[in-house]
Amino acid sequence: MKFVQTDQAPQAIGPYSQGMVVNNMFYSSGQIPLTPAGTLVEGSIEDQTHQVFSNLKAVLEEAGASFSTVVKVMVFLDDLSNFDAVNGIYAEYFGDHRPARSCVEVSKLPKGAGIEIEVIALVK
C-alpha cells in the first residue's frame, strides 16, 4: 500500500489520505471543491465541478494514473437537478473514455459543497 499525497490538491480535512495505491489500483478519497489552499469554491455548480476535477487530476497524476485510466467514478450531488450541468463538464474531462459511474443525490456534503467525486483508476 502507498499513501498518495500532493500539495496540488487540498489536504484531507479529516483522518484520511487523498488516496491510496494498492496492487496497481488507485482509490481516491472524495474530492470536494476546495482549492489546494483549502478554500471552498462557492460559485456555480460549474465552478465547483471544475475545481473538483482539478483536484482529481492532481491526485491521479501523483498516483501515476490519469483520467484515461479511471475505471469507476462515484458522483455525489446535493441537488440532482445539477446532473446535466455536471455531466457536460464530466464529458470535457473524460472525452471518449467512458468509465463506469454512479451518481446520487445526498442531503449534505462536507463544508456545504454542492458536489463530491471519487474515482478508482489503474496505475500506469
Q: What is the pLDDT of residues 65-111, one digit of tens each?
A: 999 999 999 999 999 999 999 999 999 999 999 999 999 999 999 99
Active-site position among 40, 71, 103, 122 = 103
The residues, ordered by sequence, that sit 6+ positions from 39 with a Cβ below 8 Å of its Cβ are none
Q: Domain spans of the chain?
A: 2-122
- Is 103 a known active-site residue? yes
> Whole-angstrom Cα distance, residue 19 to residue 28?
4
Residue that has been written with the C-alpha cell 471543491 in this structure: 33
109, with CB counted inside 10 A (0-12, 13-18, 19+), is middle
Residue that has been written with the C-alpha cell 494498492 in this structure: 22
pLDDT classification of 14: cutoffs 50, 70, 90: confident
**Span 2-122: which CATH code?**
3.30.1330.40
71, with CB counted inside 10 A (0-12, 13-18, 19+), is middle
